Homo-oligomer: A and B are copies of this chain.
Amino acid sequence: MNIRPLGDKVVVKSLEAEQTTKSGIVLMGAAKEKPQEAEVVAVGPGGVVDGKEIVMEVAVGDKILYSKYAGTEVKYDGVEYVILRQNDILAVVE
């Protein structure tokens, strides 16, 4: 993947299964609650961020839980990602 996050930032992609109604309509977007489970697709190098030494504890491929109010959504090449600071990641799901 060609997104290289800076510092303690982590790029994740929601593990959001498409939701289809009985009539076959695919539900999208704002009406659905933002998912809180995601897969890590890129990890920043860590190092000194905002004057504090940060060691990265997640790796590409990890499934994570994050707060639904954290991070910034970005759309790149038609795909939606969320870019979080590692501190906004609550837990790794194993």
With a cutoff of 8 Å between Cβ atoms, the chain B residues found around residue A9 in the complex are 90-91
Q: A1-22, CB under 8 A of B: which get 1 and which 0?
A: 0111111010100000000000
Question: Is B57's CB under 8 angstroms from A92's CB?
Answer: no
Q: Evaluate whether A6 and B57 lie within 8 angstroms (CB atoms) in the complex, with A74-B36, A91-B42 already known.
A: yes
- Number of this chain's copies in the assembly equals 7
Q: Name A11's contact: one of B52, B57, B67, B91 (CB within 8 Å).
A: B91
Q: Which of A3, A5, A50, A91 has the most CB of B within 10 A?
A: A91
Please report which residues of chain A, range 48-94, place their CB below 8 angstroms from some CB of chain B when the two chains form the complex. 48-53, 55, 57-58, 65, 67-68, 72, 74-76, 83, 86-87, 89-94
